[in-house]
């Protein structure tokens, strides 16, 4: 009898330690992802450059492309969700709702970063087959900041991916230990 109670106590202590480690890593990764998406949204949102092209002043901002607008809004939503969900992480770690929202957030950041990367690629390299010329030679600062912003968004995406994977592994270990 005592042996079974001792094993149960040891198992409970090990579960508490694992839960504590998981929560620490979860919070750090989610906060880092929030920071990465905040930097991505802010950098793109405040990114602008005016250039003279063929005698005309043309301004490049994130408003120049619907994909860049989606990028800014998507990263801002992802950042906001991450910050707002941090206080609930400790209470909802065993539930499925937080994991579902984390997956939705992951999809949003991936879609926003991919859309911006596609437009950025065309802006940097053009498309000779359909006559789209490169625009980055005229807007070097804008394109450089856009590249950094997209990179920050992909870092946020990878951190969200890690959070989702870690959450799935944690939940599967919990269900297998019972």
Q: What is the pLDDT of residue 167?
A: 84
Q: What is the pLDDT of residue 38?
A: 97
Q: Could you tell me the end-to-end alpha-carbon distance of the chain, in angstroms, rounded to an integer?
A: 19
Q: What is the pLDDT of residue 157?
A: 97
Neighbours of 82 (CB within 10 A): 28
Evaluate if residue 178 carries a pLDDT over 60: no
Neighbours of 130 (CB within 10 A): 7
**Alpha carbon distance 129, 9 (integer Å):** 69
Evaluate if residue 14 carries a pLDDT over 80: no
Q: What is the pLDDT of residues 105-115, one digit of tens each?
A: 999 999 999 99
Q: What is the pLDDT of residue 113?
A: 97
Evaluate if residue 61 carries a pLDDT over 70: yes
Q: Find the Cα–Cα–Cα–Cα dihedral 161, 166, 171, 172, rounded to 10°.
A: 100
pTM passes above 0.85: yes
Confidence of residue 94 (pLDDT cuts 50, 70, 90): low
Tell me the mean pLDDT in the region 86-110: 84
Evaluate if residue 89 carries a pLDDT over 80: no
Helices (H), the chain: 2-45, 66-85, 97-125, 140-177
Q: What is the pLDDT of residues 113-160, one digit of tens each?
A: 999 999 999 999 998 898 888 988 889 999 999 999 999 999 999 999
Tell me the mean pLDDT in the region 71-83: 96
Evaluate if residue 1 carries a pLDDT over 60: no
- Which residue has better confidence, 133 or 11? 133
What are phi and psi for residue 126, nearest 5 degrees? 70, -175
């Amino acid at each position: 009898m005592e042996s079974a109670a001792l094993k149960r106590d040891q198992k409970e202590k090990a579960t508490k330690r694992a839960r504590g480690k998981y929560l620490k890593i979860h919070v750090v990764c989610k906060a880092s992802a929030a920071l990465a998406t905040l930097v991505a949204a802010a950098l793109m949102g405040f990114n602008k450059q005016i250039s003279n092209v063929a005698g005309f002043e043309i301004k490049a901002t994130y408003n120049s492309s619907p994909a860049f607008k989606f990028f800014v809004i998507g990263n801002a939503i992802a950042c906001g969700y991450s910050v707002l969900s941090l206080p609930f992480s400790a209470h909802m770690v065993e539930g499925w709702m937080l994991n579902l929202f984390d997956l939705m957030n992951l999809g949003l950041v991936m879609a926003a970063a991919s859309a911006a990367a596609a437009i950025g690629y065309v802006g940097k390299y053009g498309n000779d087959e359909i006559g789209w010329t490169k625009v980055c030679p005229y807007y070097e600062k804008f394109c450089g900041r856009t590249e950094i912003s997209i990179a920050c968004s992909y870092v946020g995406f990878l951190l969200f991916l890690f959070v989702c994977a870690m959450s799935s592994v944690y939940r599967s270990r919990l269900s297998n230990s019972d």
